[in-house]
Structure 1
Amino acid sequence: MIIGEVIGNVWATKKEPALNGLKLMVVRELTPDGKPAGPTLVAADVVGAGIGERVLVVSGSTARRAVGQSEPPVDAAIVGIIDSVEAKC
């Protein structure tokens, strides 16, 4: 899983039909203490996250299962909205 922050939306009027009805969000990867780390990615949102929220993101086949369709064309999905993180670094 990846900790990230939602920093934007993606709108696409023309897309693969299997993406219809999916909310696509731009997510910036964060370290456990909230600093930017790693790439920015687009993730299908299955929990109703909003811009500025910290989220849990899964990738690969786990993301496809989270979306709940048979073989959706996604490789990342937002599966949780983070309330707090406690890490001993």
Structure 2
Amino acid sequence: MLLGRVVDSVWSTRKDETLTGMKFMIVRLIEDAEESGGRLLVAADPIGAGIGEKVLVVQGSAARLLPDLVNKPVDAAIAGIIDEGENQ
């Protein structure tokens, strides 16, 4: 799993028909405890993450194991939203 922060969304007017209704988000990965400057990736978002939220991202075959993404052509997906409390 990778740690990242949602920075924007992606609009696609044409895509594989199995992805109709799926939201895609741009996630900046948090690398080496540094939130700025991490690489960007596009991840399918079956759980409804919002811009600015810290998320867990899975890639490869793990992304296709999420219930809404089984047998769909995705390589990265948001698997969880991290709750940020006062102690984090």
Query: 2:49 aligns to what?
Result: 49
Question: Within the alignment, does 1:58 sit opposite 2:58 as a pair?
Answer: yes
> Aligned partners of 2:40 and 2:64: how far apart in 1?
19
Return the offset for 1:38: 3.8
Considering only aligned residues, what root-mean-square deviation do their CA atoms show, in Å?
A: 2.3
Give the CA deviation at 1:26. Answer: 0.4
Hey, which of these two has a bigger chunk of strand by percent?
A: 1
Identity across the alignment (%)? 50
Q: Over residues 39-81 of structure 1, what are the superposed CA-to-partner deviations in whole Å (9 max), with x where a residue is unaligned?
A: 2000011211000000000000110111534421100000100
The change in CA–CA distance for 1:26 and 1:54 in structure 2 (over 3 A counts) is same
Task: Give the corresponding residue for 1:76.
Answer: 76
Aligned length: 87
Shift of 1:82: 0.7
Superposition pairs for residues 1-89 of structure 1, below 5 Å? 1-31=1-31, 33-36=33-36, 38-84=38-84
- Taking structure 1 as the reference length, the TM-score comes to 0.83
Q: Which runs of 5+ in 1 are unaligned?
A: none
- Against the structure 1 CA distance between its residues 67 and 23, is the aligned structure 2 distance closer, same or farther, given a 3 Å change threshold? farther
Gap change, CA 1:3 and 1:19, over 3 Å in 2 = same
